[in-house]
Structure 1
Amino acid sequence: MGPRTGLSRQILIAMSAITVAAGLLVFFGTYFAYTVIVALYPMPEQDGGLTSLDFVIVGVLILVTLPLAVLVSLRLARRILEPLESLALNARRITAGDLTARASAGDRALGETAALIDDFNTMAQRLQDMAADMALWNATIAHELRTPLTILKGRLQGMIDGVFEPDERSLQGLILQVDGLARLVEDLRTVTLADSGHLDLRIEPIRLAPEIAQMAELMAHDLRASGFHLELDLADLVVDADATRIRQALLALVTNARRYAIRGTITIRLAEADGEILLGVADEGPGLSPETATRVFYPFVRGDQIRSRELGGNGLGLSVVRAIVEAHGGRLRYRDAPEGGALFEMIFVKTSRSAPAHDA
């Protein structure tokens, strides 16, 4: 190891000074105590002071004990300094960009020092995991953006070269690609703002049943065209929430069921259980595998890659729902539906306040 750092030098100097001071204190303390004892209880053959033999004995004892004390101090200092030096060295490595650096606790008998090293290593591991997640996130976003941008560029270049006729159908296709990009950007914005705690919410007491019924009426036609029947099972409950964000989350869950579920019934349930409000969307299958269920709320995770892309999915729908629900202080969970399909439930704390009545 190279030259000792300033902290190491200060600790060694301090411990050496304490050892020397202790030795001198023992010497003069012994001399003073011996002198007082002799003065109070004089011995017949002594003149009341220390003899040269006494000085020799005390000196020999100090010469023997002082090096031992210095040796013990140095060993103790090294035990303290080794983990601290490892901590300082690896902190500099992390500052330089090496997130794989980890400190060594050395002798774990020093409990507080070992705990400090463990906390540092835990922090370093989290930094490394966050950097890896960020790299994966950036790569996935780039991949998601590349497909629509490539299509847009190819079509536009084809129109410029005269390969494609800029008719209404072609332009509508380009607009669809632009809409997909806009949805992706908005979903990324929602997830990022929610994770950073800056998602803008207008919280107020709302009656969920009328909001859901109105939204279901607007979705019913498109769902029927896709082979689905929408069924409502709604209790009249009030929750403190942002109505717009709740509609956004509910639309994402219904759209998710439309993309992945077999043709049949999609059920929206609103109920109360154990002081919580449950807003769930259930389908008739096939549900999620146990492996997929554990990571389905992560961004860009899809159950059926091909079908999701055919219907315009970007893998962020459930992440957006999770972000919105957690921003409300709730939680999102998945479980198997009674019908055998998937059931996604948004869980909120019930409010004791009343919401203004809506016109029928």
Structure 2
Amino acid sequence: MRKLQTKPRTKERATLWRWICTRLLSLAIGSIVLIAFLMWLRFFIENKWHESRMPEAVRAELAVLSKHPETNVSRYHEIIDTWYGLAYSDPAMGIMDWVILGFLVLIFIPIIFMLTLRTARPISLQISQLAQAARSVSEGSFGTKIPIPDRVPQELKSLSENFNVMSLQLERYERDLKKSHVAMAHELRSPLTAAIGRLQGMIDGVFVPDEKQLRMVMQQLSELNRLVEDLHLLKLADAGQLNLNPLAVGLDTIVSEKIAWLAPAALKAGVKIIHHKQSVPPCYVDPYRIGQVFLILMDNALRYAAEGQSLSIRYSVSSPTVTVTFEDQGPGVPDELLEDIFSPFVREEVSRSRHSGGSGLGLPIARAICEAHHGHLTVQKNRQGGLLFLVTLRIEKENRVIEHNSIQS
């Protein structure tokens, strides 16, 4: 899966709590500081006005007494009372001071209110857009996206990004589900229509109801039954209810058995299966189910990559796992279809011809079985052409407890 490239973070975005606290505290502290500054400015201007009325000699004498009033306290108070007024020495706030303070508070209340609303608007707007988008998704409009502004807290930005990803995934899931239902109906209808048509022909006397005709009907019904069984197995695996009977067994032994089973088909298709045998640790797996995986991968190569004329099987041990690789030399698939080949009813219709058959459920079943064993099935493109399937399973000691719990469930 392709990794998303993200821009390097130069600065960590503030959290929602820090984002709110920083802005509200900034408004509160800024308002208090500004009111205090204006009150100081009022007294500063008043003092400068009184000093401007004093004679130069009195102003110089007051400057000296202001630094050391104890040298002549009576003269200091005389100057203050004469030029500043008797009320200047009163420590209580005067009526004018209260009026000015109240006036400043009345001015700053609407300013703080407006700034607070402006600060909270990005959050409110983003939450409203999220609510509206969530309503659209709940009504079936999958794929709905919302813009992600920069001036929002990190939590809200992450929530918006995750919502967009979720919405796109729902849209893709709905599209794949509809596509899968159409393909499923087509796959089930083909053998059923053929069987019904053949039976109707026998009823109408068009065909003689002999053994040959009955076998043709039976073949179509068997194909229909196989499709139903494959769908049932796939759904059991998706639900985590696939019944496993694990044993300690070497994967090379299972591969050898499936190669012997497919030898006539490989000879007929002109494909040489090259088995690079080596000693590998035993894995605690269900031999039948894992054998089914190997059989699907080999059969897939015979169906779609026969023109490469070879299928190479190798092993790679990297504790605690064993990886079995199936490398063919066929035409391969386009990059955009590489991961989709594990989707139900998907065939490699572009470079691997459809006429070779298959329902499109083999590879999804193989991956589901591997995941039921807590393993992996992945695919890569060969540099020389063709595909490389990798089956990765845990060795016995690491896998025993996990698989035992899976069986008990």
Q: TM-score, normalised by structure 1?
A: 0.75
Question: Structure 1 pair 118/352, CA: closer, same or farther in 2 (3 Å)?
Answer: closer
Alignment equivalent of 1:61, drawn from 87, 92, 104: 104
Alignment equivalent of 1:326, drawn from 371, 375, 383: 371
Task: Tell me the CA shift for residue 353 of structure 1.
Answer: 8.1
1:344 aligned counterpart, secondary structure? strand
Mark the runs of 5 or more structure 1 residues left unpaired by the alignment. Answer: 1-10, 31-42, 356-360
Q: Which residue of 2 aligns with 1:199?
A: 242
Task: Tell me the CA shift for residue 227 of structure 1.
Answer: 5.2
2:249 aligned counterpart, secondary structure? strand
- Would you say 1:73 and 2:116 are equivalent positions? yes
* Count of residues paired in the alignment: 321
Maintained 8 Å contact 1:90/1:101: yes
Q: Which residue of 2 aligns with 1:173?
A: 216
Deviation per residue, 1:71-104 (Å, 9 max, x gap): 1122223222111111112212221222243334
Alignment equivalent of 2:196, drawn from 125, 138, 153: 153
Which has the larger helix fraction? 2
Tell me, in whole angstroms, the C-alpha distance in 1 between the residues paired with 2:152 and 2:316. Answer: 53
Question: Structure 1 pair 107/215, CA: closer, same or farther in 2 (3 Å)?
Answer: closer
Question: Structure 1 pair 170/258, CA: closer, same or farther in 2 (3 Å)?
Answer: farther
Alignment equivalent of 2:287, drawn from 243, 253, 267: 243
Task: Tell me the CA shift for residue 314 of structure 1.
Answer: 0.7
Tell me, in whole angstroms, the C-alpha distance in 1 between the residues paired with 2:170 and 2:349. Answer: 32
1:199 aligned counterpart, secondary structure? coil
Maintained 8 Å contact 2:333/2:350: no
Mark the runs of 5 or more structure 2 residues left unpaired by the alignment. Answer: 1-19, 40-80, 401-409
- Would you say 1:253 and 2:309 are equivalent positions? no
Question: Structure 1 pair 344/155, CA: closer, same or farther in 2 (3 Å)?
Answer: same
Q: Which residue of 2 aligns with 1:82?
A: 125
Deviation per residue, 1:129-161 (Å, 9 max, x gap): 111111111111112112112111211111111
Alignment equivalent of 1:347, drawn from 375, 382, 392: 392
- Alignment of structure 1 residues 1-360 onto 2, 5 Å: 45=87, 48-106=91-149, 108-224=151-267, 232-237=275-280, 238-262=282-306, 267=311, 269-275=313-319, 276-283=321-328, 285-291=329-335, 293-303=338-348, 312-328=357-373, 329-336=375-382, 342-352=387-397
Question: Structure 1 pair 232/121, CA: closer, same or farther in 2 (3 Å)?
Answer: closer
Task: Tell me the CA shift for residue 122 of structure 1.
Answer: 1.7
Question: Structure 1 pair 142/106, CA: closer, same or farther in 2 (3 Å)?
Answer: same
Task: Tell me the CA shift for residue 221 of structure 1.
Answer: 4.1
Q: Which residue of 1 aligns with 2:45?
A: none
Tell me, in whole angstroms, the C-alpha distance in 2 between the residues paired with 1:293 and 1:79. Answer: 42
Opposite residue 348 of structure 2, the aligned amino acid is G
Task: Tell me the CA shift for residue 61 of structure 1.
Answer: 0.9
Maintained 8 Å contact 1:87/1:104: no
Maintained 8 Å contact 2:342/2:363: yes
Maintained 8 Å contact 1:270/1:277: no
1:97 aligned counterpart, secondary structure? coil
Tell me, in whole angstroms, the C-alpha distance in 1 between the residues paired with 2:308 and 2:160. Answer: 57
Task: Tell me the CA shift for residue 51 of structure 1.
Answer: 2.2
Maintained 8 Å contact 1:260/1:304: no
RMSD of equivalent CA atoms: 3.7
Task: Tell me the CA shift for residue 222 of structure 1.
Answer: 4.8
Tell me, in whole angstroms, the C-alpha distance in 1 between the residues paired with 2:399 and 2:97. Answer: 93
Task: Tell me the CA shift for residue 57 of structure 1.
Answer: 1.0
The worse-fitting range, judged by mean Cα deviation, of 110-119 and 297-306 is 297-306
Q: TM-score, normalised by structure 2?
A: 0.67
Question: Structure 1 pair 51/334, CA: closer, same or farther in 2 (3 Å)?
Answer: closer
The worse-fitting range, judged by mean Cα deviation, of 129-138 and 273-282 is 273-282
Opposite residue 257 of structure 1, the aligned amino acid is A
1:288 aligned counterpart, secondary structure? coil
Tell me, in whole angstroms, the C-alpha distance in 2 between the residues paired with 1:310 and 1:164. Answer: 27
